[in-house]
Structure 1
Amino acid sequence: MSHFATGVAVVTARGAEGDCGATISALSSVSLDPLTLLVCLHRKSATCRAIEESGTFGLSILNKAQQDMAMHFAGKSDGKSFDEYCVQSESGHFFVRDALVQIGVSVVETLRGGTHEIFLAQPVSIGFHPDQGRQPLLYFRGAFDLAA
């Protein structure tokens, strides 16, 4: 699967452990009617637990200049700064500043897939960065692909 280029996004949620975030590449469109997204997270992650508790999360699709954001939210939740890197919407979702797209979603179904939870979610808000000339951050063969 490392030969399949994917976009890079950050999922953020608020749970009993506080604000949590994770860098993901397991994101897909499932359906246009109703509009449904699929996001996969490791079951043991704090971000996964926060989503299970709240039933909602913010999804920030990163641009190719945001490699540092992807690295910041990769790995364990300890020490991840939200004040410096994120903004909170009126709906309460957290998003990475200046992301290409910011989507607030509500979970409609959760499935188990091996070590991961598969969240099927529907957007409740969508925001686009005003600079439409930006390119997405891609992940390919274990590294960020900045050629896009």
Structure 2
Amino acid sequence: MTSITSDDFRRAMSHFATGVAVVTARGDDGEQGATISALSSVSLDPLTLLICLNRRSATCQAIEQSGRFGLSILASHQEAVARRFAKPAQDKVTGTDEVRHRDGSVFVQDALAHIAAEVVETLRGGTHEIFLARPVHVALNSQAGDGPLLYFKGAFDLTS
């Protein structure tokens, strides 16, 4: 069997279309945010979801400090939001059309869904932290008429 490279693995995984979301958290250095596609429902009993973030990211550190995060599942028209939160920057949240939950969680306005979650367990997976979290608030956007923003073969898929 031939060993594979990280580039081989990345190309193979790029064939798995994923939804795109923005995760936000408030840490010692203020509000942070990142675009993610590594997110999944884990269990309905107990309610559990997971997200994965690079350990070196400011958003990962903010989640570790606060123990909670806001998750905005993006709609197909929100590619610009996804690109903004994908770039390294000090303050991506300010200036974004945002929605605040009463617990302080920040969400992207007009996203398909908002989920506030509290971390229940953190696992290490190579360069990433895997956060298992309990949803504590869910809101669906009844005004959203379009489908989800998808990521496929290294690009945003706008066919939805």
TM-score, scaled to structure 1: 0.96
Give the superposition deviation at 1:131: 2.1
Q: Is the 8 A contact 2:72 2:111 kept in 1?
A: yes
- Identical-pair percentage: 63
Aligned positions, number: 148
Match of 1:21 in 2: 33
Residues 14-69 of structure 1: per-residue CA shift (max 9 Å, x gap): 00011100000000111111110010000000000000000000000000000010
Structure 1 segments of 4 or more deviating over 4 A? none
The gaps in structure 2 that reach 5 residues or longer are 1-12
Residues 106-140 of structure 1: per-residue CA shift (max 9 Å, x gap): 00000000000000001000001112532000000
TM-score, scaled to structure 2: 0.89
Q: 2:82 aligns with which of 70, 73, 80?
A: 70
CA spacing shift, 1:146–1:127, aligned 2, 3 Å: same
Give the superposition deviation at 1:84: 2.9
Q: Which has the higher helix share?
A: 2
Q: 1:54 aligns with which of 44, 47, 66?
A: 66
Match of 2:5 in 1: none
Match of 2:23 in 1: 11
Bigger mean CA deviation after superposition, 80-89 or 135-144: 80-89
For 1:73, what is the secondary structure of its paired residue?
A: helix
Q: 1:124 aligns with which of 133, 136, 141?
A: 136
For 2:43, what is the secondary structure of its paired residue?
A: strand
Provide the C-alpha distance between the structure 2 equivalents of 1:96 and 1:132, rounded to a whole number of angstroms.
13
Give the superposition deviation at 1:77: 3.3
Two-structure CA RMSD over aligned residues (Å)? 1.1
